[in-house]
Amino acid sequence: MIANKRQSIKEAAKHAFSLFGYKGSTVAHVAKVAHVGKGTIYTEFKNKEELFEAVMDDLLADLKDLFDSVLQHDGPTLHTLHKALYGVMQYRKEHKLLAQLTEEVNIYGTHEAVQAIARVEQFILSTLEQAVERGAEKGRLRIADAKITAFTIYKLYMAFIVDWEQKETPLTEQELYDVFRNHIFDGIAIQ
């Protein structure tokens, strides 16, 4: 029962943060959505910051599950990296909380929103770096530095998913893979 109450509060908080961002959400909003009193929230979470951290922990767990589900397959490394990144980018692009936090960062620069987006990016980069290192260890990738390779691939994907789509027709998953295979991956792949 207690676990359900805590989870219910986190779900309500996720909803509130998705609608109003970190800055615009209050414990009163969360209590109203969760159908509990404000005091109940304070029995589970010390403050709004701790509640926000718990919501972000759940979001990162979802991202980890998404990465793990793709990276567990032992297919061609480049195709696997692409599938993982594409899935994560689509998740990031379509996830209401991340969209709201990104907007809040751009408009207000709220410290907590900046930290949350940085935490998501750091998770993606470190997970991608580990995948690149595994590909290199298996002799499937030729890289000089896994961290630089992961950063380069991630930022280029971000550019195509975010910047490209502001002015051009979005690329399909296959078109995006073809662009990266032809322009990036063939440069690091061992044939």
**Cβ distance 55 to 17 under 8 Å?**
yes
Q: Is the pLDDT of residue 188 over 90?
A: no
- The whole-angstrom distance between residue 120's C-alpha and the CA centroid of its chain comes to 5
pLDDT tens digits, residue range 7-35?
999 999 999 999 999 999 999 999 999 99
- For residue 115, give the nearest of 13, 23, 15 by alpha carbon: 23
Give me the long-range contacts of 146-153 (CB less than 8 A, separation at least 24): 149/188, 150/125, 151/125, 152/184, 153/81, 153/85, 153/128, 153/180, 153/184
pLDDT tens digits, residue range 119-159?
999 999 999 999 999 999 999 888 999 999 999 999 988 89
The residue written with tokens 């590909």 in the block is: 135
* CB-CB neighbours of 155 under 10 Å: 11
Give the per-residue pLDDT at 8. Answer: 94
Give the per-residue pLDDT at 3. Answer: 64
Name the band, by pLDDT with cuts 50, 70 and 90, for residue 162. Answer: confident
For residues 48-71, average pLDDT: 95
pLDDT tens digits, residue range 75-114?
888 888 899 999 988 888 889 999 999 999 999 999 999 9
DSSP string of 54-119, one letter each residue: HHHHHHHHHHHHHHHHHHTS-S-HHHHHHHHHHHHHHHHHH-HHHHHHHHHHHHT--HHHHHHHHH
Give the per-residue pLDDT at 56. Answer: 98
pLDDT tens digits, residue range 148-157?
999 999 998 8
Give the per-residue pLDDT at 1. Answer: 45
Taking the model in full, what pTM does it have? Answer: 0.88
**Amino acid letter, 188:** I
